[in-house]
């Protein structure tokens, strides 16, 4: 078994400064923020950035992993408090709102649903897909969601809802309407 050496104190500081700078830059400029600017903001060289985060995707994921984990926790909270179908709808609303409000999240979650089940799946992708799977399966058992719907399909559709709401300059009200239209279409035929 290979042991992972703990980071030196200066490397930990650089890592944290890079995450802080990345979150600020992504908030200002979206997922396309300049990596050189992020390194400069953190007070490190580009080489240091790439040593910690070999790709833009790795940096984006590290900057938002806490937010994605919070979405998974929120799914569990809703599942404990609401009937399964309602929990799924409410969670999808919150995912869509968060996707629009936090610049860079749409790209991160888009990647998560594009790479579903692949070897390239990320921690964030695995986390959000697991949360969706639990909610989808519960709604299917309850009979409020078609049995042939896959969790990743629901996430892909939610990504589309967020994009549609963005195009229509919609906020939470617009998203609620689009999620309602989506989930009505995913209900079993009666």
The answer to whether the beta carbons of residues 92 and 182 sit under 8 Å apart is yes
How many CB atoms neighbour CB 147 within 10 A?
Answer: 8
pLDDT of residue 104: 75
- Is there a shared CATH topology between the 9-52 domain and the 64-185 domain? no
- Per-residue confidence at 44, pLDDT binned at 50, 70, 90? very high
d(CA 160, CA 154) in angstroms, rounded, equals 10
pTM (2 d.p.): 0.81
Domain parsing of the chain, residue ranges: 9-52, 64-185
Q: How would you label 72-83 residue by residue, b for 16+ Cβ within 10 Å and e otherwise?
A: bebbeebbeeee
pLDDT of residue 79: 97
Q: Which residues are CB-neighbours of 174 under 8 A, at least 6 positions away?
A: 165, 168
CATH fold label, 9-52: Arc Repressor Mutant, subunit A (1.10.10)
- Per-residue confidence at 71, pLDDT binned at 50, 70, 90? very high
pLDDT of residue 1: 54
Residue, of 100 and 76, whose pLDDT is higher: 76
CA dihedral 61, 62, 68, 73 (to 10 degrees): 150
d(CA 175, CA 156) in angstroms, rounded, equals 15
| C-alpha dist (Å) from residue 73 to 67, 125, 132 | 10, 14, 11
64-185 CATH pick, 1.10.357.10, 2.40.30.10, 3.40.50.300, 3.40.1380.10 = 1.10.357.10
What is the token pair recorded at 40?
């400069």
* Segment of 24-38, 103-117, 128-142, 153-167 carrying the highest mean pLDDT: 128-142
């Amino acid at each position: 078994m290979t042991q992972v050496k703990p980071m030196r104190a200066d490397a930990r500081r650089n890592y944290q400064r890079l995450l802080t700078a990345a979150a600020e830059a992504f908030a200002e400029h979206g997922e396309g923020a300049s990596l050189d600017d992020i390194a400069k903001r953190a007070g490190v060289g580009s080489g240091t950035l790439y040593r910690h985060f070999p790709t833009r995707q790795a940096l984006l994921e590290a900057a938002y992993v806490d937010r994605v984990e919070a979405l998974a926790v929120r799914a569990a909270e809703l599942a404990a408090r609401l009937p399964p179908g309602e929990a799924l709808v409410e969670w999808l609303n919150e995912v869509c709102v968060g996707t629009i409000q936090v610049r860079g999240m749409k790209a991160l979650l888009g990647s998560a649903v594009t790479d579903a089940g692949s070897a390239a799946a990320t921690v964030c992708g695995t986390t959000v897909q697991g949360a969706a799977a639990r909610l989808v399966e519960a709604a299917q058992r309850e009979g409020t969601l078609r049995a042939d719907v896959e969790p990743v399909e629901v996430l892909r559709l939610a990504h589309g809802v967020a994009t549609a709401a963005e195009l229509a300059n919609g906020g939470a009200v617009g998203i609620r309407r689009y999620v309602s239209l989506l989930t009505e279409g995913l209900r079993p035929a009666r």
